[in-house]
Structure formats: C-alpha cells, structure tokens
Chains A and B, each alone.
Chain A
Amino acid sequence: MKQLFYQALSRVRPSMSAYDVALTWAVLLLVCFGLVMVYSASIAMAEVDKDTGFRSTYFLIRHGIFLVIGLTAGFVAFNIPTKTWQQYAPLLFIIGVALLVLVLIHGREVNGSRRWLSLYVINLQPSELMKFIVVLYAADYTVRKAAFMGGDFVSSITKGLLPMLVVMLVVGGLLLLEPDFGAFAVITAIAVGLLFLGGFDWRLFAGLIGLLALGFVGLVVSSPYRMQRVLGFLDPWQDPYGKGYQLSHSLIAFGRGEWTGVGLGASVEKLSYLPEAHTDFLMAIIAEELGFVGVALVVCLFAFIVFRAFMIGVQAAKLDRTYQALVAQGIGIWFGVQSVINIGVNMGLLPTKGLTLPLLSFGGSGILANLITIGVLLRVDYENRQALRGFTT
C-alpha cells in the first residue's frame, strides 16, 4: 500500500524521464475521450442538418483532422525552445491584435457574434490563439517589468500596471466588440494572474480585483444581450423555454445521468434538444451518457493537468527560469479558468459564456491553440529536466 502510494506520488512529481509522461497521457486521454464524445454529441444533429450534408460523421471527421493538425503543431511547439517563444512574444502579440481587428472587419457572423475568419479551408478563431499569445506576452511582460513589481506604490502603478492595463483594454475591447465575453474573461484572468504571480503588490491587487469586478458588473448591466445571459442562469426554470432554455436542458442532461449515466450514445438531450451539444455543452452530454463518474473523471483530469502546470512552473522557478515558470503557470490559469467556467456554465453555476471545454470540445482553432499550448508546457518541463541533469538550454 505504502509502496503504491509512493509510486503514485512519483508520477506526480517530475520523474527522471525526458518528458512528463503522466501529463502527456492525461492530455492524450482527454483528447481521445473528446473525440468520442464529440461524435456522440453531434451524430444526431449532423444527421438531420443540411449544412453537414446529412452526414452523421461530419463532426467526427473534422474533429479527427483538427486533432492530427493540433498534435502535429503541438509536437512542433515542443521542439521550439522557450527562449524563442519569449523572443517573439511581443511580435506574436501584435499579430494577434491585428487578427482581432481583422475579424471585426472580415469576420463571418454566426449567432450574432463575429468570431471567425474564413481561411477557405478552415475558419480561424483568432480569440482562441489570442489566449495562447497572451500567456506568452504577459509572462514576458511580467519578467521585463520585474523591477517595478514589488517597488514603491507610484512606480508599481505607473510602470508595472498601467502599460498592461492599456494593452488589456485594447485586447479586451476588441474581444467585446465581437462579442466574445468568454475569451475576454480568460485573457483577463491570465494577465491578472501572471501579474499576481510575478509579485505585484497584493494589496494593490485586492484593489485591482475590486475595480475589475466593478467593471464586470458595469459591462453586464450596460448590454441587454449580456444582461439576458446573466439573468437566464440565475433561475432557468423561470423561463425554461426562453432565456433559460439551453441551461435548463443542460441541467436535465446532468439529472438524467445519475451515477453512471444512460450509456454512451444514449443521450436524449443531444437529439436536437440541447443546442451546442458538441461544443460549449459537451460536458452536459458527458454527464448524461456517462453520469457522475464521467464528470468526476473529466474534472479530475483537468485538475491534474492544471496542478502539473503549476508544479512545472514551481520547478522552473527553482531553477531561476522565471519566464518559463510564468508561462507554465499562465497555462495552468488558462486551462483551469476555462475548464471551470465551461463546466460551471454547464452546471448552471455561471452565466452562459460561449466558452468551449479545452481539449475536448469541437472547434479547430480551440484544439489547435490548446495542443500548441500543451506542447509549450511540455517544453518547459523538458527544459527543466535538462537543466536538472546539468544541460544548459
């Protein structure tokens, strides 16, 4: 028993293999599980939709292709030294902002949102890539502004916070114009989290959080569209066929699942009742078909990935690789926040956002960005291990 415990613990701690085996397998497990669930959730909808040509495998095939592309891109990302990412972070950031501007001009509008750039073969969603870029950029920014982080009050505000605030206002504004409220929340969380981890005065931080909360409330109240989304989640049963429609169906899916679910493929909610079953509300279908066991498994896998990301960051910090540490932890914040929000939305804890479940939900740009990010995270870990073995990177 004791031996087993230590064995398990040794998997959690970085072992002396060249890369993080446990993390890799956790990611691969989620990705494959996602493929199965996307197929299961989309099959009934794809069969009757003329946009998919009435092909039941429409989403399965596309998701499979995205996974191949994403895994390849992730492998490429794994082979790029983190220094290079740091070096090109500002440039990537500018490209990202440019794409966000472009999507507002040339984007394809779906369901009242302008989020997709048509690239003939696939539709690119710049906001997904922007999350990755913001991790790289905010980590770089924090390292660069290290001197002002724990400094005196005025300089930490003007030199440490203000530039970031301006940059984030621009990016946030662009995202809200699409509108993509979910991406805005994730990017804000990454930026704020990295500033906090970078040592920004925590008292100032408390004030900043308060300010952000105020801004959040202001944004919600100012737009009827957002207001409606927020109000719908408070009590979906008040208007279950109107504002609370999607959420009430999501909750019903959870309720139908019970312990072990109705069985893979046996969901009723996916039969055109629950909209976005294969993207934003994939978790509801997992809950219905695989029950509490399936939900707990997915949550635990995400918790593991997030925990690993932070531990890789801690290891990097021990090795004085501050930028890499912040990148890994930024990735942890991103995956943590996005999965918590997505699952929380599915469970009716948070207002409907339009955020996908990382690594699982259907969506080319999301999968691509997620897998590149995992590649970078594994790269940070790989460099840690190399450093521990005495190699310089």
Chain B
Amino acid sequence: MHAPPNTRARQRYAQQLKLERWRVWFIVGGLMALFGALIARGFYLQILNEGFLQQQGEARYARTLKLEANRGMITDRNGDPLAISTPVQSIWASPRSIKLLPSGQRRPNGWEPKDEKDPVPMSVDEVAKLAKLLDMPAKAVAVRLGASRKGAEGKTAQPDFVWLRRHMAPQDAKKVLDLNLPGIYAQTEFRRFYPAGDVTAHVIGFTNIDGRGQEGFELTRQEQLSGKPGSRTVIRDRRGFIVEDISTVIPPKDGETLTLSIDRRIQYLAYRELKHAVETNNALGGGIVVLDARTGEVLALANVPSYNPNSRARIDPARRRNRAVTDLYEPGSTMKPITIATALESGKFKPSTVIDTGAGAMGMAGFVIKDTHGYGPLSVEGVLVKSSNVGTARIGLQLDREYLWTYYNAIGFGQPPRTGFPGEASGRLRAWKTWRPVEQATMSYGYGLSVSLMQMARAYQVFATDGEIRPITFTKLVAPPPGKRVFDPAIAREVRLMMEKATQPGGTGTRAQVVGYRVAGKTGTAKKLSAAGDYTEKRYVGSFVGFAPVSDPRLIVAVMIDEPRGESYYGGTVASPAFSAVVAGSLRMLGVPPDAPTDNILLPGPDEPEVREET
C-alpha cells in the first residue's frame, strides 16, 4: 500500500493472479469432509465394531490357562487314605514355535522373532540336553518336537501342543525349565497314588493319566472327586510373557473327599485270606464280600486275581474284573436256607417236620436229584445241616411257585443290588409262570438261577438281622436306613440256629468255626455250566456265606472260590477256612465281645466222615 507506485504497478502486472475464493473453500471443504470421515470411521471402529475387533485381539494374545483342581481323596471309614493325589509336573512343547536346526548350527545370540509365527530355532545340543533331563532318547524328543499332524482343513500343520514327559517329580521338571528353552513348558498335574495297592484295587479302581476315573469308585464318583478346574484368562505380549489378567480368576474347586464304608484293616485281611485260599486251592480266582450286618455297609470287597493300580503298565482286563459284583454263578446249597425259611414262613413246615430223603436220589421228569448219602428221614433242620438236595427239593415242591418266587424276588435275586458299581450283575430269576416242577425243585437248592456274590451276601442279611434286608452301600453311613422286612423274626432266628448247626460236626461247614465266637453259615459247591450248557464238566464254584456272632450278628461274609483244582473242590473245604479267618480277625478288630467260650470249636471225630455236599 505504501510501496512506491512503480513497484506496485510492476507487481500488479506480474501477478495478474487473482486467487478465487471458491477454490479455497472447495479444498478446505474437501479436507474437512475427510477429517469428518476419519471421525466417523473412528466411531465405527471404536464404538460400533469394537466387539469383533476385541475378539480378534483376544484370539491373538489372550490365553486361557487351566487351573487344575485337586482330585478328592478317597478314604476308608476311619479316614485312612485309599487314594490320594500328589502334584507332579508334566513337560509339554509347542512344535509350532520350534524349528529344529541341522547339527552344527546354533541359534545366533540375541535372536528375535520376526513375527508371532516365527519359530525359534533349536540346536541339536539343546535337544540332547533336554532329552537327557527328560530321560528319553534324543531321537524320540526330536520326533515329538518336529511332529506335524493333519488339521481340520486337511492341511498338515505343526501342533501347538505335544506332551514330552508326563508326571515328573517337581524337582526334575524344574531342571528342564532351567534350561530355558523356547517352546518348552511345564504344567502342574496331579498323580493318583493308592497306598493299599492291589488290596483295594477293585473297589477304588484307578484313574488314567489325564486324571479321569476308569474303574471302580474313581469312575462312578468321577464328578464328585474331580471337582471343577478353574481358569485364568491372561493377555500375553508377543514374547509369551503374561501381561495382565483380563478376567477374574476362577479358582479351581477341589474335589470332595469320598469316605467309603470300607474298613482298610478288614479289607486287607479279607484280601489276604482270599488270596491264600485261591492259591492253596489252585483256583482260577475268587471273591469275598464283608458286610456290616446291622447297616448294609460294605466293610470289604476283594477279588483275586487283582492288580496294582499304581502301575501304569497295561492292566490285563481279566484282572480288572470285579468278580464279586459282576460275575454270576449258580449259588447251589447256599440257596437252601432261603428256601427253608420261605417254607417255614408259609406255615406248611416246622423245623421239626420230617422229610423223607429216602436213599438219596429222586427221579423227576428224566432228571435225578442226588445226595452224597442216603439220609433217610430228616427234619427240616436236618435237611439244612446235612445239605440234602432231595430234602430241599421236596420242601420246595410243596410250596406254591409264585409264593417261592415272591420271596426269592424280595430277597433281591434277579435285580441289581444297586451298590453304585459299574457293570453290576442282576442275575437271573425267571418269571414264576415259566417254572416247570423240575425247575422249581432244582431252584430250591440253588440251580437254574444265577446270582452274584454281592447279591448272596445281601440276601443273608435276612438271617443276620431277624428277617430284615437293607440296601447295600459303599459309603459310610451316619445312621442305618430302615430295613425291609422279609421274614418273621422268629423264623429268621430259627434258620439262623439251623445254620449254626451246619458249621458244627454233622454239618458241611465245620471249618468255618471261629474260636470264641458262634458262627452260622452255609456251604455251597455248585457245578459250573459247561460251554455246551450242561453239567458234565468237573468244574466247580465252592462258596461259603455266613455271619457271626450268632447271638448278635455283626458281620456277613461271603466267600466264593472259582474252579478250585486242588485236592478238594467243596465249599466246606475251600471257602470256609477263609470265612473263618476273616471273621476271627475282623470281630477282634471291631472289638466285638466273644459270645462263646474259647474251646467252642467242635471238630468231627477222627472216625467220623466229614459231611460234604454235592451242590
């Protein structure tokens, strides 16, 4: 404005340029619109679409860590541990984040990953060191670290997770982690330990390496024992370090302690005696059940052969069989007290009623029922004490078949005992309408129906408890459940006394007697069905089911010896001694006062033949 006129004129001429205002607004408007678009886009990303983006983010750097729950302890009724968990370390690797280098090459110092997918190189030396600490061949470790598997889309990819060595002692695992190798991690797991080993194997069962129950109560009470694993979701930076927790830590809920009704001392005794009986009689196997007569609690359950649940070696399935619960056999003579009690209950018979057993044989529809001796006329009591098949058959035939079935059914035959065990056998008791007379006769003395040893022990409650039956339980009870009455108390007591006589001279179970205690019981020697379905093969099941003390029964013990192949196969010879030993030991452990003088054992005279039965 104040410039000299000539300068101004020259400038005007030179400039000629009149900046048009609309062009400025055009560009300013455009840029402001772009800024507006940025804010809109920011709003979309941060306020509207943030869910998807955060989820993508979490997929990349969030990791949910499992917090293992401690599996509950299993104890016996006195709190002694039967199964406990101890923390161990398992080493795992992420092959995806490891690249195995050829021998001679080493990872350069200060190596950094290019991106989060970049695998860390690992030299042969490092693999060798790792293998040494893992106590594995270096080759096997290298194979696992280089593992690849087919993904869901059919692409082969390296997995993110392989176990290297599981269940290591914590101090050994620490040595591995101290190597500070990339892609090698440790996870705390729990290893199950069974202090009683093979003694309780069939009751407790075992867990697999992942801590899941596979057999026994480990399996059936899986939910209760396993608890709930907790979790912790964390954000990691790209090098794997945990930066923060992004959700509340859910603490693991430890499993509950399971208190069984088993008494470890009785269990041990029962197992030892059973094993002894099976071994001395060269038998295939055997089972034993000890019940608390007052409550229906199982105090011991053992089978032979057994296995060591602490061993991780493969266990022979045959050894895992819980014979006492899952195996069926024909009860034979152990059935007779039930038939006789039913007969007394019907009112048609009294203990003194005389039955003519004749010369020890009875023909029926082309089938001959035999006794070992011809006993002639016998009282009902005599029939039981001598274990006469003919006598029992005659008694059974005089009862209405429906009546008989009702009692057999009420006592639990043909139905699972519902102890909570997997694979419980229910046995076979045919509907009464299908019974033919010959079958009714054989069933009276224990053929033509099948039971498990557990069912048999359960059935004998009626004699031990004045005619009542209670459900069987493996868990410790606070108070016994009310029993279901099957027989009149007077009749139950009468049969109990007959069964006591069966263990005295003149009876079949003399070897069942116990010093200082009165015992009652019944032997059984049943022929096993051959594969062809007849009884031609000389294979037997010797059993003894009884209880003690007779004056106030505390224990019911059922022993079964499968295919004894020693000198004798009679239940009175092979099973009764085990019964005697277990009862003697158990009653003393339980502190049950003796109900007999210590010189109570009455053995048959040397010239007197031992009474045996053929069923």
Contacts and interface: CB of A to CB of B under 8 A. Distances in A.
Interface of A: 44, 48-50, 142-143, 146-147, 149, 193, 196-199, 202, 237, 240-241, 245, 248-249, 251-259, 268-269, 271-273, 287, 291-292, 295-296, 299-300, 302-303, 306-307, 310, 313-314, 317, 320, 322, 325-326, 329, 332-333, 336-337, 340, 343-344, 347-349, 387, 390, 392
Given A255-B56, A256-B54, A258-B50, A143 B43 contact: no
A272 B237 contact: yes
Contact of B45 (A241, A302, A347): A347
B27 A193 contact: yes
B32 A320 contact: no
B42 interface: yes
B3 A392 contact: yes
B39 interface: yes
Given A271-B237, A287-B46, A349 B41 contact: yes
A199 B17 contact: yes
B239 A48 contact: yes
Given A255-B56, A273-B60, A314 B21 contact: yes
Interface in B282-321: none
Give 6 closest A-B pairs by Cβ, nearest first.
Answer: A255-B53, A271-B237, A146-B17, A272-B238, A252-B57, A336-B31
Interface in B444-474: none
B115 interface: yes
A48 B240 CA distance: 13
B96 to A, nearest CB: 12
A322 B53 CA distance: 48
Nearest to A310: B28
Contacts of A272: 237-239
A50 B27 contact: no
A268 B32 contact: no
B16 interface: yes
Contacts of B18: 199
Interface in B35-54: 35, 37-39, 41-43, 45-47, 49-54
13 contacts: A146-B14, A146-B17, A252-B53, A256-B50, A256-B57, A257-B46, A268-B57, A271-B243, A292-B42, A300-B35, A332-B27, A344-B38, A392-B2
B19 A322 contact: yes
B5 interface: no
Given A196-B27, A252-B54, A310-B28, A340 B20 contact: no
Interface of B: 1-3, 11, 14-21, 23-24, 27-28, 31-32, 34-35, 37-39, 41-43, 45-47, 49-54, 56-57, 60-61, 110, 112, 115-117, 235, 237-239, 243
B24 A197 contact: yes
Nearest to A319: B1
A325 B23 CA distance: 13
Contacts of B117: 241
Contacts of A326: 19
Contact of B24 (A240, A268, A310): A310
The secondary-structure label for the interface of chain A is helix
Given A292-B42, A299-B38, A271 B54 contact: no
Contacts of B16: 146-147
A299 B35 contact: yes
Contacts of A255: 45-46, 49-54, 56-57
Contacts of A329: 24, 27
A245 B115 CA distance: 9
Contacts of B34: 336, 340, 344
Contact of A313 (B15, B24, B45, B61): B24
A149 B595 CA distance: 131
Contacts of A50: 110, 112
Given A258-B47, A268-B61, A340-B38, A196 B23 contact: yes
B17 to A, nearest CB: 4
B504 to A, nearest CB: 85
Which of A245, A255, A387 has the most C-beta atoms of chain B within 10 angstroms of its own C-beta? A255
B15 A146 contact: yes
A329 B38 CA distance: 21
A240 B55 CA distance: 14
A199 B2 contact: no
A248 B31 contact: no
Given A48-B239, A255-B46, A303 B19 contact: no
Given A196-B27, A198-B19, A314-B24, A254 B53 contact: yes
B28 A307 contact: yes
Contacts of A241: 115-117
A215 to B, nearest CB: 20
B32 A303 contact: yes
A273 B237 contact: yes
B376 to A, nearest CB: 96
Which of A50, A202, A268, A340 has the most C-beta atoms of chain B within 10 angstroms of its own C-beta? A268
A174 to B, nearest CB: 26
B27 A197 contact: yes
A322 B23 contact: no
Nearest to B32: A303
A322 B46 contact: no
B436 to A, nearest CB: 78
B19 A199 contact: yes
Given A292-B46, A347-B42, A268 B56 contact: no
A271 B51 CA distance: 21
A318 B239 CA distance: 59
Contact of A199 (B23, B45, B49, B61): B23
Contact of B38 (A44, A268, A343, A387): A343
B19 A325 contact: yes
Contact of B42 (A245, A287, A317): A287
A49 B51 CA distance: 32
A340 B31 CA distance: 8
A33 B112 CA distance: 31
Contacts of A291: 46
Contacts of B235: 268
Contacts of A348: 45
Contact of A251 (B19, B45, B61): B45
Given A271-B243, A317-B24, A347-B42, 10 more contacts: A199-B20, A268-B57, A268-B243, A273-B60, A306-B28, A306-B31, A310-B24, A332-B27, A332-B28, A333-B31
Contacts of B60: 249, 252, 273
Nearest to A251: B53
